[in-house]
Structure 1
Amino acid sequence: MLLTDAGEPECYDEAYQGKDASKWELAMKDEMKSLISNQTWELAKLPEGKKALQNKWVFRIKEEHDGSKRYKAQLVVKGFQQIEGIDYSEIFSPVVKLTTIRLVLSIVAAKGLYLEQLDVKTAFLHGDLEEEIYMQQPEGFAEDGKEELVCRLTKSLYGLKQAPRQWYKKFDGFMQGNGYFRCNADHCCYFKKVKSSFIILLLYVDDMLVAGADLEEINNLKKQLSSEFEMKDLGAAKQILGMRISRDEQEGTLKLSQAEYVRKVLQRFSMGDAKSVRTPLASHFRLSKEQSPKTEEEKDFMAKVPYASAIGSLMYAMTCTRPDISHAVGVVSRYMSNPGKPHWEAVKWILRYLRGTTERCLTFRRDELKLEGYVDSDFAGEVDHRRSTTGYVFTMASTAISWISQLQKIVTISTTEAEYVAVTESSKELIWLQGLLAELGFDQVMNVLHSDSQSAIHLAKNSAFHSRTKHIDLRYHFIRSLIEEGVLKLVKIAGSKNPADMLTKPVTTEKLELCAASVGLQ
C-alpha cells in the first residue's frame, strides 16, 4: 500500500512502550518462530574481513477486508549496507502486470470462474541464498550466552537486495515442476490445462490469485503449494494490491474498486470535505513551465506543498482502476521537478474530482470475450515543446483492461502524423494482449482498433501520400505490415463516440460520462 495507518511504532523500543506492547511482542515472537522453523540462519563466528549487516524491526497494522486489525512485525535486513559483487549480483525480479490482473478478472467474470486468493507467509524466506552473508542477531532476541556470535544467513530475508529474485526463482521452479506453463507475455502468469478446463495463477511478490472453473483442481493446487511453502488460504478473492474485488453472482458482475484507497488519499491531503468538481481537469488550466516559481516567496510556498507525494498517490489510482484521470495526472506529473502554484491548483482539482467520484469502479460482466481498442491523439497539446499526446484504451468484454495517456517522443507536424504515431504505438499493446490471450487459450482473430482519424487510417493502409509523409520515422510504418498480415483491422469511429478522447485532452462532463460508461467505468 502507498499509505500506512498511524499508530505504528518506529522501532523496537517504541513497540514496548505503547499501549499495544503485548500485541507487538506477540507479533515479533510469531515472526521469530517462522524464521527459526524455516532455518533462516545458523549462529557462527564472524570471519575476518567480513562485515555483519544490521537489521531492524518493522511494525505494521494490517486492516483486513472484514474491518479487523492484524498486528504484524517483520525483521528486515538493512540491505543498503550490502556491497555489489560481494553480497549480491543480480537483483531483478518480475511482478505480474496490472493489465494481466484486469485481463484475468475479465475472463473470470465472462466465464463465471472461481477466483481464490492465497498469501505466502514470509515469502522471501523461501529463497535460497547463493552468497555468504552475515547479519547481527535480532534486537531483543539474541541467544543467551551466545551474544557475541552472528547469524550466517542460509535463506534470503526481507531487506536483502537479492531476496525478491531468490523467492521468484524458487517459486518459478516449483510451478514449472508441477506442469504449469509460464506465459512468455508475463512471467508471473502461470497456466495449466486440467481435464476439460484450466487454471490460471497470478503472482505479485507474495500475493496470489488463482482462477479456474473446477474448485477441486484449485484446492489441489492449494495443497501442492502448502506442501512446499507456508501458505495462508484467504478463500474467495476480496482484494489485491489495495483494490477491492466484489462479485454479484446474480448479475454476473465483478467489480474492481479503489474507493477505500481514494478516501485515504483525500484524507491525507486534507481534501476529504472539499467541494467536488465534475471533470478531472478543467479547460481553463493551461499548464506550462512558465508557471514554475520565480520569486523566493513562491519557492518557499511550494517547498511546503507535498506535490510529488500527491502525484504518486494519484498515479496509483490511475494505473489500477481509474483511466478517467490518466490525462490529468499525466499533465500535472510533467512539472514534478519544479512545480508552481497553478500546477498545485490543478492537482487539487483532480483530488476534488475524485471526491465526487470515489465510488467509481471497473465493472466486468458476463459477456463475449472480445478484445477491442480505441486510439486518439491530441495534436501539439503540450504548451512547452508542442508535442502531441497519445491515448489508447483496450477493452475486453466491453470493460477497460489496458490504457495509456502519454506524450509522444517526437514532435509531429500534422494531425494526421500525430494520429498515425498514436495508432502505431497502440498496435504494439494490441499484439502483446493478443499474445497473452493466445497463451491462455483465448485466441483472438482480427481485432478491431478504432481511430477517429480518416487520414491516419488511409495512410496506414497505403503509402500514397509519399511527399507529405516521407519524413515519418520508419518504425511508425510498422502498422502497415500488421494490417497487411491481417493481425488487426483499423476502423473509423466518430470522434463523439471515441472513449480514448478522455485520455488526450480535457473533455466536457457529458463526453466524460460517455467515455467512462463505454469502457465499463461505473
Structure 2
Amino acid sequence: MESSPLPIGLRTRAGSPPPPTPAGPLPADGAGGPSPAADPRSDSAAPDGTPPRVVASGAAPASSTPRPSAAAPTGSLPWVAASSAGPSSSPMSGPAAPAGLAPWDGASGAGPSSTPAAATPTDRVAAPSPGATLAPAAASRTGCPPIVVPVPPVANAHRMTTRGKTGFHLPVDRLNLHAAALSPVPKTYRGALADPNWRSAMTEEFEALQANGTWDLVPRPPGVNLVSGKWIFRHKLHPDGSLARYKARWVLRGFTQRPGIDFDETFSPVVKPATIRTVLTLALARDWPVHQLDVNNAFLHGTLSETVYCVQPSGFVDPQHPDHVCRLNKSLYGLKQAPRAWFSRFATHLLSLGFTEAKTDASLFIFHRGTETVYLLLYVDDIVLTASSDALLRRTIDALQREFSMKDLGPLHHFLGLSVTRQHGSIHLSQRHYILEILERAGMTDCKPCSTPIDTQSKLSATGDPVNNATDYRSIAGALQYLTFTRPDIAYAVQQVCLFMHDPRMPHLALIKRILRYLRGTLDHGLILHRTDPSALVVYTDADWAGCPDTRKSTSGYGVFLGDNLISWSSKRQPTVSRSSAEAEYRAVANGVAEASWLRKLLLELRSPLTRTTLVYCDNISAVYLSTNPVQHQRTKHVEIDLHFVRERVAIGQVRVLHVPTSSQYADIFTKGLPTSVFMEFRSSLNVRPSTVSTAGEC
C-alpha cells in the first residue's frame, strides 16, 4: 500500500517536525498505525461534555520513513487532530494500537527497534481550525488530555516567498491630501450663501465696498437707467495650483450702460509684453531685486465723473430700505469706464511721487534721481517693481501702501499667469499650469505628444467641413494666442489657426490639436532670459511669399534680441499682396526695423541707451540691396513708404540691413513649418528650453 506521511506542521513529542505531506488521498479506515499515547494530565471527556483534547504524541524513528496517518474510526470525534508513532518510539507512548489499527507496514521503514527521540516541552494546545483532523478518542483512556493541533495546507513543492516571511507589509492606508478640498464654484448667489466658505467671501467683499464708500443708498430717481449686477465667484490659486482663498466679487453688467449718459471714454492702457521682457533683462544685467504687488479692490479706487445708479448687491439688500438704489461715488467692477478710472487715479499718485510716465509705453513709470532708479510696470491691478537697491524698493512700496491697500507678494514668482523662476543669473518664464488648463478644456490631457507644432506642408485654406462647435475652437485658439507670451516657438502655428476664427473648418481644428499635442510634450519649456550685455540690439526678419493659398498674401516674421535675450517677436499676415519675393521680404524688414526703432526709444527712456547700430538680418539679397540704394522702378513704387522709412533709419545710422544664410535665419520659425531637426535647433536659439531648476528662486 502506498504510504502518506504526516501532515506538515504537526509538532511531535520528540520535537522534530515531520516531513512535508505530498498531495494524495488519505488511507482508508484500518490502514493506520498505533494509537497516540495518552497524556496523564487528562482523563476522558470534560465534565461539561466538551470533547477531550488529544496531544500529538510520539515520533517515528529518525531512520524511518513516516507511515500514513490513520483515519479516525467510526464514532470518533470529527475534529480531533491525530499523529502516530511506532510501537516503541517513546517511553512515554501508550499501549499498542488497538484492534482495527494496523501496524506500520514495511513500506514505511519503521521497525520496533527504532531509536526513540526525546520528548520536548514545546507541545502546545491549539484552537481547532478548519481542516484539522483529530486522533481517536481512545487516546484519552490513558488519562492523557487531548490537544487540538491545526493542520496547515498542503506544502508546495516550490519554495514560496510571502510578505510575512520577507518582513514586507502592505502600507497603512491614510488619506493624504496635498491640497485642501475645494468648495465647488456656485452657479447662483443663493448656492454661495449655503456654503460657509463662499458666504464668508461675499461678506468680505460687501464690507470692503461699504468701507470704501463706493455708493450711497438713495431713492430711485424717475427715468434713470439702473445698472444690474451679479456675484462672480472664483478660486484664487497659488502658483503650484493649491488654494489661496475664495474670491467673490459684485460685478455690474456694464452692457446695460448707455453711452453718453452712463459712460464716455473707456480706453485703459496695459503694459506691453516686450516692455516686461526688456525691464527684466535690465534688472538681470544690473542684479536688481524684482518684486510684485497686488492692489486690493483696485477698481474701487477710481473716481467717476458720470452719475451711475445700480441695484443693491444680491443677498445684502438693506432691510430698512429695500426699494433704494446705489448711487455710485467710485468705480465698480463691470463698469465700462472702471479700468480707465483706476488707471487715472493710480497714475496721478505716481506722478506726485516723482515718477514719470514713459512715452513709449503708458503703463511704464520711471523714477530717476541721482543714482537711484525705479521701474514700475502696471497691468490693471498687478504691479511689477524693480529698483537699484533694496532700500529704495522698500521705500517705494511703503509710499504706495500709504495711499492704496495692496499686498507685497515678495520676489516676482507669478505674474499674469506666468511662472517666474530666477536662479543662477537667469529668469525662466513659463506657463505650465496654463498649458495644462488648456489641455483639460480641450479634453487632450492624455494625448500623444509630437515633435513640432506644424508640419512643413501645412498651408491652411478656407475649405473643408465646418467644425461642430465654433465657440470651443475660438476659445482654445484665443488661449493659445495668450500662451505665445512665453512660447515664441508656436507663434506661427497659432497665427495660422487664428486667421480662421470667423469660420473654422476641420483642417483648422486638426492643426489646433497638433499644437496641443506639441505642448503636451513640452510642458516645462519656457523663455529663458540670461544675464547679458544689453548694449546690442539684433533683428532677424523673414517672409513667406504668397503663402496663403486663398489670397496669396505673405506672412511676415521677426525676432528681436537684446544681447542674448529674445525680447520681441511677431508672426503676422501681410495686409496686401506682394508682387515679388523681394517686396514681401522688404515689408518684413520694415516691420522689424519699426520694432527695433521703438525698442531703442524704450531703452533710452529706461536710461540704457544703445550706442551701437542695430543689425537687421535678412536672407533676401534684393531686399538688402533696396535698403541702401535709391532704386526706383515699377516693381517697387507701391512700397515707397516702407522704402523711405527703412532708408531713413539706415541713413541716420540706427539700422544696418545685412544678408544672412537661410540656415541661420532664425525668423524662419515665425513664417513657415520647419523639419524637426531645424525646428529644434532654431527653438533652442530662441532660448525656449525647459527650466533647469525645480523650484522658484528669488527675484
The gaps in structure 2 that reach 5 residues or longer are 1-181, 690-699
Q: Does 1:83 align with 2:250?
A: no
1:37: how far off?
1.2
Render the CA deviation track for 1:24-52: whole Å, top value 9, x for unaligned: 11111111121111111111112222233
Give the drift of 1:274. Answer: 1.1
CA distance 1:175–1:45, shift in 2 (3 Å): same
In structure 2, C-alpha distance between the alignment counterparts of 1:360 and 1:517, rounded to whole Å: 10
- In structure 1, what is the equivalent of residue 207 of structure 2? 33
Aligned residue in 2 for 1:351: 516
Count of matched residue pairs: 505
The answer for the alignment partner of 2:497 in structure 1 is 332
Amino acid at match of 1:407: R
Of 464, 486, 493, the match for 2:631: 464
1:116-515 equivalent positions in 2, closer than 5 A: 116-248=291-423, 251-291=424-464, 293=465, 299=466, 302-303=468-469, 306-318=472-484, 320-369=485-534, 370-445=536-611, 446-464=613-631, 466-515=633-682
Separation in 2, partners of 1:514, 1:182: 40
Could you tell me which amino acid in structure 2 is paired with residue 489 of structure 1? R
Deviations 1:420-457 (A, max 9, x none): 11101111111111111100001113111111222211
Question: What residue is the counterpart of 1:95 in the other structure?
Answer: 270
Instruction: Give the AA of the match of 2:193.
Output: Y
Contact 2:553 2:573 survives alignment (8 Å): yes
Residue 384 of structure 1 and its aligned partner are, at CA, apart by 0.8
Match status 1:7 vs 2:184: yes
Query: What is the CA-CA distance between 1:397 and the residue it aligns to?
Result: 2.6
1:267-323 CA-to-partner distances (Å, cap 9, x unmatched) read: 2111111111111101243321133x2xxxxx4x533782111111111112x1111
Query: Per-residue deviation at 1:144?
Result: 2.8
Unaligned runs of 5+ in 1: 294-298
**Which residue identity lines up with residue 321 of structure 1 in the other structure?**
T
One-letter amino acid of the structure 1 residue matched with residue 439 of structure 2: L
Q: Distance in 1 between the 2:408 and 2:584 partners? A: 49
Distance 1:109 1:7 in 2: 41
Aligned partner letter, 1:516: R
Whole-angstrom CA distance in 2 between matches of 1:165 and 1:182: 15
Distance 1:489 1:259 in 2: 38
**1:52 equivalent in alignment to 2:226:** yes
Distance across 2 between alignment mates of 1:466 and 1:437: 37
SS at match of 1:119: strand
Alignment deviations for residues 154-211 of structure 1 (CA, whole Å, 9 cap, x no partner): 0010011111111111011101111101100000000111441311000000000001
- Supply the distance in 1 between the matched residues of 2:471 and 2:329 (Cα, whole angstroms): 45
Whether contact under 8 Å (1:362, 1:399) holds in the other structure is: no
CA deviations on 1:371-415 (whole Å, 9 max, x unpaired) are 221111111111111111100011123121111111111111211
Q: Do 2:225 and 2:257's aligned partners in 1 also have CA atoms closer than 8 Å?
A: no
Aligned residue number for residue 49 of structure 2: none
Aligned to 1:233, what secondary structure does the other structure show? strand
- Residues 470 and 503, structure 2, Cα contact 8 Å, conserved in 1: no
Return the alpha-carbon distance in structure 1 between the equivalents of residues 471 and 353 of structure 2.
Answer: 52
Query: How big is the shift at 1:16?
Result: 2.5
Greater alpha carbon shift after TM alignment, 467-476 vs 153-162:
467-476
Aligned to 2:9: none
Distance in 2 separating the partners of 1:469 and 1:413: 9
Say whether the 8 Å CA contact 1:398–1:518 is kept in structure 2: no
Paired amino acid for 2:438: V
**Alpha-carbon contact 1:399-1:521 (below 8 Å) kept:** no
Q: CA 1:471 to 1:88, structure 2 compared with 1: closer, same or farther past 3 Å?
A: closer
* Contact 1:424/1:477, CA 8 A, preserved across alignment: no
Deviation at 1:476, TM superposition (A): 3.9
CA–CA distance in structure 1, aligned partners of residues 311 and 641 of structure 2: 57
Amino acid in the other structure paired with 1:93: S
- Tell me the SS of whatever aligns to 1:289: coil
Aligned-pair distance for 1:468? 4.1
TM-score, normalization: structure 1? 0.94
Residues 8/50 of structure 1: CA separation in 2 closer, same or farther (3 Å cut):
same
Partner of 1:296: none
Offset at residue 471 of structure 1 (A): 4.0
Letter in 2 for 1:61: H
Compare the two structures and name the one with the higher helix fraction: 1
Q: Which is greater in Rg?
A: 2
Larger RCO: Structure 1 or Structure 2 (Cα < 8 Å, ≥ 6 residues apart)? 1
Change in CA separation of 1:386 and 1:362 when aligned onto 2, cut-off 3 Å: same
Does the Cα contact within 8 Å between 1:256 and 1:363 map onto a contact in 2?
yes
Note the C-alpha offset of 1:68: 3.2
What is the alpha-carbon distance in structure 2 between the residues aligned to residue 464 and residue 83 of structure 1? Answer: 55
3-state SS of 1:381 partner: coil
Identity %: 38
From the superposition, tell whether residues 335 and 366 of structure 1 become closer, same or farther in structure 2 (CA, over 3 Å): same
- Preserved CA contact (<8 Å) 1:364 1:397: no
Shift in CA distance, 87/329, structure 1 to aligned 2, threshold 3 Å: same
SS in 2 for 1:393: strand
Separation (CA, whole Å) in 1 of partners of 2:196 and 2:236: 17
The amino acid across from 2:403 in the alignment is E
SS in 2 for 1:361: strand
Which amino acid in 2 is paired with 1:342? Answer: P
**Is the 1:53–1:81 contact (alpha carbons within 8 Å) kept by the matching residues of 2?**
yes
Note the C-alpha offset of 1:143.
Answer: 2.1
CA contact (8 A) 1:197 1:213 kept: yes
What is the SS of the residue equivalent to 1:460?
Answer: helix
**Alpha-carbon distance in structure 2 between the residues aligned to 1:517 and 1:398:** 12
